[in-house]
Amino acid sequence: MHTELCDKLGIEYPIFAFTHCRDVVVAVSKAGGFGVLGAVGFLPEELEIHLRWIDERIGDKPYGVDVVIPGKYEGMGEMDPKKLEEHLRALVPPEHRAFAEKILTDHGVPKLPAGEERHELQGWTAATAAPQVNVILKHDKVRLVANALGTPPADVIEQIHRSGRLVAALCGSAKQALKHKAAGVDIVIAQGTEGGGHTGEIGSVVLWPEVIDAVAPTPVLAAGGVGTGRQVAAALAMGAQGVWTGSLWLTVQEAESPFAQKELLLKATSHDTVRSRSWTGKPARMLRNDWTEAWERPDAPKPLGMPLQGMVSADAMSRGYRYADKAKDVMFNPVGQIVGQMNAMLPVKEVIRRLVDEYFEAADRLQRLSAGAAG
């Protein structure tokens, strides 16, 4: 299980692990994979603290950071975060805020203590991502900067390349992948609809080869529903140079998620997810619950576009995390359909070992089949 990307990044296995938990980033990279920290929820000064923490513990291993700069969103062009937030807050209809608050109140979710309130515009824009990129590029062990939505702006790609790092970007179609390639993106991440978080509508088995063929020789990482070594083997057999995983790391022992949230994920089946715009304004896959169902009711206001809907739900995200035991039925649980196979709370090292072992079992099986056919 070794590809050109392994040599380029100095890693043992082409297993990329997206996570919002710094402990998981360190554990994955130390186990031979490539940890990627999701930065969207961090203010620049918070991100600096987390990256410094990772640098001090990851040894000589590399890692990556994922930011969110959508290709289209309300308020594009304004690069002052404070001015943008002020402008956007005025665009949020009061009925949306009232509807969100009623859902939380009906479920008995307490308000945050005074002083714990967060800025509503934490991510989802170029204005908020630009300061994050500036922080990221101060850390030498970061070898890859990924963009979760759309093709990164030309100046951001140039800035990252100038620092000697690679740029990756996710896509849900071959058309989007070609835009990434034309813009100079180094690694295209093809994410099928089975994945958690923001996804398109095309299934992984169809999407991966389409994107691989479209952008060759640009390396492609296969994403969307990857949680077993057999799927890793299938992705590499199709021509991918590695896999981009996310959901798999939500329930590992090192993940800092509240136990109540991990318990929900461990009990869920592959039928329990839904693509919903109710949290961020763009279709994202998550566990179906009373929050997602409420926004689908005929009397519910229509979810706003990005980042306005995220401003409506920002308080609910914070309260759900803070009071997970009471918010289990309304909290934000982005996860892919692989959740049905996430049934044990294992350490990261064990998950990596299992992926590698299953990969070689699948590869050996194919080799035996090939030998049998040749005989």
Tens-place pLDDT, residues 253-295: 999 999 999 999 999 999 999 999 999 999 999 999 999 999 9
Instruction: Please give the DSSP secondary-structure letter assigned to residue 112.
Output: P
Report which of residues 15 and 371 the model is more confident about: 15
What local confidence, expressed as pLDDT, does residue 375 receive? 59
What local confidence, expressed as pLDDT, does residue 374 receive? 64
- Strand 284-287 versus strand 273-276 pairing type: antiparallel
Q: Mean of the per-residue pLDDT values for the chain?
A: 95
Structural tokens at position 63: 């890692």
- pLDDT category of residue 109 using cuts at 50, 70 and 90: very high
Report which of residues 86 and 116 the model is more confident about: 86
pLDDT cut 70: percent of the chain above it:
99
Q: Which CATH architecture has domain 4-374?
A: Alpha-Beta Barrel (3.20)
Question: For residues 237 and 241, what is the distance between their CA atoms, to the nearest angstrom?
Answer: 9
Residue 370 has pLDDT above 90, yes or no: no
DSSP per-residue string spanning 243-310: EEE-GGGTTSTT--S-HHHHHHHHH--GGGEEEESTTTSS-EEEE--HHHHHTTSTTSPPPPPTTHHH
Contact partners, residue 217, CB within 8 Å, separation at least 6: none
Residue 101 has pLDDT above 90, yes or no: yes
Cβ-count burial 294-318 (b if 16+ within 10 Å, e if not): bbeeeeeeebbbbbbbbbbbbbbbb
What local confidence, expressed as pLDDT, does residue 1 receive? 85
- pLDDT category of residue 74 using cuts at 50, 70 and 90: confident
What local confidence, expressed as pLDDT, does residue 71 receive? 84
What local confidence, expressed as pLDDT, does residue 72 receive? 83
Residue 372 has pLDDT above 80, yes or no: no
Cβ-count burial 84-111 (b if 16+ within 10 Å, e if not): bbeebeeeeeeebbebbeebbeebebee
How many CA atoms are closer than 13 Å to the CA of 179, on its beta-carbon side? Answer: 16
Q: Give domain limits for the chain.
A: 4-374
Q: Residue 227 in 3-state DSSP? A: coil
pTM of this structure: 0.95
